[in-house]
Amino acid sequence: MLKPDAVGRRLCGKIIGRLEAKGLRLVGLKMQIVPNALAEKHYAEHKGKPFYPALVKFITSGPSIQMVWEGESAVAVVRRMNGVTNGVEAGVGTIRGDFGLSGRYNLVHASDSVETAEREIGMYFDGAELWAYDMPDMHWFTN
């Protein structure tokens, strides 16, 4: 997910370009202002934590872009490309390390496991919104 700060800072193309250049295949994409109820469901694991209200307020504060990416070890690859949560601590070359200075406004969200990805994809997409197609260069990105 590209969070409202990524959209507001006009970083969408740069971030999506990095994921494409890595060799991942974009199979789902939509833009929306996440409704409060969906944000609460998405971040349910954090309910009761001190940062939860601010997290929900931030993710619902403006447009965000939800995406589904496929590829070799896609979950691990995207998380590594995002970098650690706080942009000050994130490594140079990561999305957060190159574009972020905050832990709160951290530009992107990525599922932490395949199981979480399946749950989150189901929250934002129905099957008709996900596309299966061949990429002519995929042979360069597989083992």
Catalytic residues: 109
Cα dihedral sign for 114, 143, 15, 20? negative
Q: Residue 50, exposed/middle/buried by CB under 10 A (0-12, 13-18, 19+)? A: exposed
d(CA 116, CA 76): 12
Token pair recorded at residue 68: 């589904």
d(CA 75, CA 111): 7
